[in-house]
Amino acid sequence: MSDPTGFDSGEGQGARNLPPLKLHVPEPPARPGEAADFTHFEIPPVGAQPRPDEAAAPADMRDLAYGLVRVLDEDGQTAGPWNPKLPPETLLKMLRAMALTRAFDGRMFRAQRQGKTSFYMKSTGEEAVSIGAALALARDDMCFPSYRQQGILIARDWPLVDMINQIYSNKGDRLKGRQLPIMYSARDAGFFSISGNLTTQYPQAVGWAMASAAKGDTRIAATWCGEGSTAEGDFHSACTFASVYRAPVIMNIVNNQWAISSFSGFAGAESTTFAARAVGYGIAGLRVDGNDVLAVYAATRWAADRARANGGPTLIEHFTYRVEGHSTSDDPTAYRSAEESSLWPLGDPIARLKQHCIAIGIWDEERHAAMDRELAELVRDAAREAEKNGILGHGLHHPMESMFEDVFEEMPWHLQEQKQQMLDEWKAAGL
Ligand SMILES: Cc1ncc(C[n+]2csc(CCOP(=O)(O)OP(=O)(O)O)c2C)c(N)n1
Ligand SMILES: [Mg+2]
């Protein structure tokens, strides 16, 4: 007798002798104590990728979503059509901004261990992703970063003291302690408020870019998320809107191989590249050596020129490695092989640019060491200055009742009541 739902209910599935269904559960190549191995990565030689015209149709450049744009080779030489041929002052500016970001991360990490803040996130090994992009964009283009692009603020010469005030949630914190440490907001630097809710910045960036176009403005938007965050629905909604309206936006995926303790396979890396997400949406896609700041610069510049000429969005995957823990609350030795970072095949972004600057005769080891000392002092002085406004452990830095402010232009009656109730209770408790 046939089943009204359309299934064969006669003999049952078992009688057909079918193999049981199975799920594939990804496993990272190496767990703690196991030998790390990156030999399965295909790293094409420098210069192997063609550079299409900025007006190219996405369908004519699909291979770039599966390759790896590289400019700097193992000997510190540049080659290929993506070489941006930057003048020495720009190269040295990049080098300094990357080194300053690393010095800043080092000091703020220690500040967390000293109890001056509750939380910090380093970008070690990923500095090129922020710095290369920041220098390729116009100063008034709008950035919608994730929590690991502090390098953008640093490349845009944002005051370190302001950043540290935010990290310490102190009296000088313009955000009044309402954001988690490192979740900066700096409108004047074109740096949109960071949200801890992963990937919310993607639709926001696309919406901002659409608004810019709707107003007939010339500014474009750029956004960043981690490879793990591409699994969020917001990523896909943003791609749909960007593709449909050809929004002037650059969508960056920072593939640092890990999403806290989940390796990139859980976001789809075993099946295809992250840049290949662009193919399904009909968006231009580029996959870039994220530890090669010149490649990051060149790809961003290509995408920015394309967006500015109404050529639409570009999705860029930056292939890199998260050298340190996810945050100060994380211990990567619990879930990944300790050797991984030293075996990472694309090297260190600062060391690679330094080698290039030395190779072309504009830099040397002595100047580099002197710069590192100077930057360490710069960060130390900024931290001391910020400490004058207080640190986390010093108690409240902003009046308790300020938490009711800045949401409504005029405070509604129910919030006024709650505020008064809180103040009365505080008074009664003798606080
Ligand atoms: C919507 C949402 N889900 C989960 C989290 C918890 N969470 C914070 S960071 C993170 C990992 C993100 O990894 P990835 O996107 O690869 O970025 P990365 O930290 O590597 O830069 C997770 C799961 C969150 N903050 N928001
Ligand atoms: Mg990641």
pLDDT in tens, 39-84: 889 899 999 999 999 999 999 999 999 999 999 999 999 999 999 9
What is the pLDDT, as a whole number, of residue 40? 86
Average pLDDT, the chain: 95
Asked if pLDDT for residue 14 goes beyond 80, the answer is: no
What is the pLDDT, as a whole number, of residue 1? 41
What is the pLDDT, as a whole number, of residue 431? 77
CB atoms within 10 A of CB 277: 21
Mean pLDDT of 24-36: 94
Q: Which of 122, 149, 198 to mutate to test the pocket of ligand 1 (most atoms within 8 A of CB)?
A: 198
CB 138 within 8 A of CB 169: no
What CA–CA distances, in Å, run from 384 to 179, 208, 387, 388, 391?
Answer: 22, 37, 5, 7, 10
Q: Is 318 in the pocket of ligand 1 (CB under 6 A)?
A: no
pLDDT in tens, 168-188: 999 999 999 999 999 999 999
Q: Is 182 in the pocket of ligand 1 (CB under 6 A)?
A: no
Mean pLDDT of 315-342: 97
- Residue identifier of the C-alpha nearest atom 17 of ligand 1: 226
Q: What is the value of pTM for the model shown?
A: 0.95
Mean pLDDT of 310-329: 98
59, 132, 134, 300 alpha-carbon torsion, rounded to 10°? -10
Q: Is 197 in the pocket of ligand 1 (CB under 6 A)?
A: yes
Express the helix, strand and coil content of the chain in percent, nearest 5 each: 45, 10, 50
What CA–CA distances, in Å, run from 275 to 12, 269, 281?
Answer: 44, 10, 11
**Ligand 2 center to residue 206 CA distance, Å?**
21
Mean pLDDT of 325-345: 96
Q: What percent of the chain has pLDDT over 70?
A: 97
In one-letter notation, the amino acid at residue 178 is R
43 alpha carbon, distance to own chain's centre: 22
What is the pLDDT, as a whole number, of residue 2? 45
Asked if pLDDT for residue 12 goes beyond 80, the answer is: no
pLDDT in tens, 244-287: 999 999 999 999 999 999 999 999 999 999 999 999 999 999 99
What DSSP line would sit under 173-189, residue for residue?
Answer: -TTTT-S-TT---BGGG
194, 104, 169, 185 alpha-carbon torsion, rounded to 10°? -30
Q: What percent of the chain has pLDDT over 90?
A: 92
Asked if pLDDT for residue 4 goes beyond 60, the answer is: no
What DSSP line would sit under 231-265, residue for residue?
Answer: GSHHHHHHHHHHHHHT-SEEEEEEE-SEETTEEGG
Q: Is 148 in the pocket of ligand 1 (CB under 6 A)?
A: yes
- Residue identifier of the C-alpha nearest atom 13 of ligand 1: 259
Ligand 1 atom nearest the C-alpha of 327 is 19
Tokens describing residue 230: 């591409």
pLDDT in tens, 361-392: 999 999 999 999 999 999 999 999 999 999 98
What is the pLDDT, as a whole number, of residue 7? 52
Asked if pLDDT for residue 15 goes beyond 90, the answer is: no
Mean pLDDT of 230-243: 98
Euclidean distance between CA atoms 232 and 249, whole angstroms: 19
Query: How many degrees, rounded to 5, is the angle at CA 154 between CA 386 and CA 297?
Result: 170
